[in-house]
Amino acid sequence: MIEHPSLSIPLTKLVRSPENVRGGERTNIDKLARSILSRGVLQNLVVTKRDSKGKETFEVAAGDRRLAALQLLRKQGKIKANFPVPCTLVPDADAVAASLTENVERE
């Protein structure tokens, strides 16, 4: 079993990945946001590291709805922009597989 590093990443450094296999509309984000506010983020977001124009960001390969819920909480002023988000860092080669696995396991 391959272990990937876990780390806390400020919310402002997280962006939606164009490689995320879950397409379409994000649903029930407000409900998930309320859950995160009361219980915290229970499952790490899976991310890959990006450097764009000297700015370090992390693309969310799995956990797109959690990211949207966190962004909603930030917009509502319920969490700070630099809120530490639990993440698992994976290589680019593993990002699509992680996204697929999470979505298959959900069903």
Q: What is the pLDDT of residues 15-56, one digit of tens each?
A: 998 876 565 567 799 999 999 999 999 999 999 999 877 889
Q: Which two tokens stand for residue 15?
A: 């962006």
Which amino acid appears at position 55 of this protein?
K
The pTM (predicted TM-score) of the whole model is 0.84
Helices (H) and strands (E) in the chain, counts: 3, 5
Can you give the pLDDT at residue 2? 67
List residues bridging with 88 in a β-sheet: 6, 46
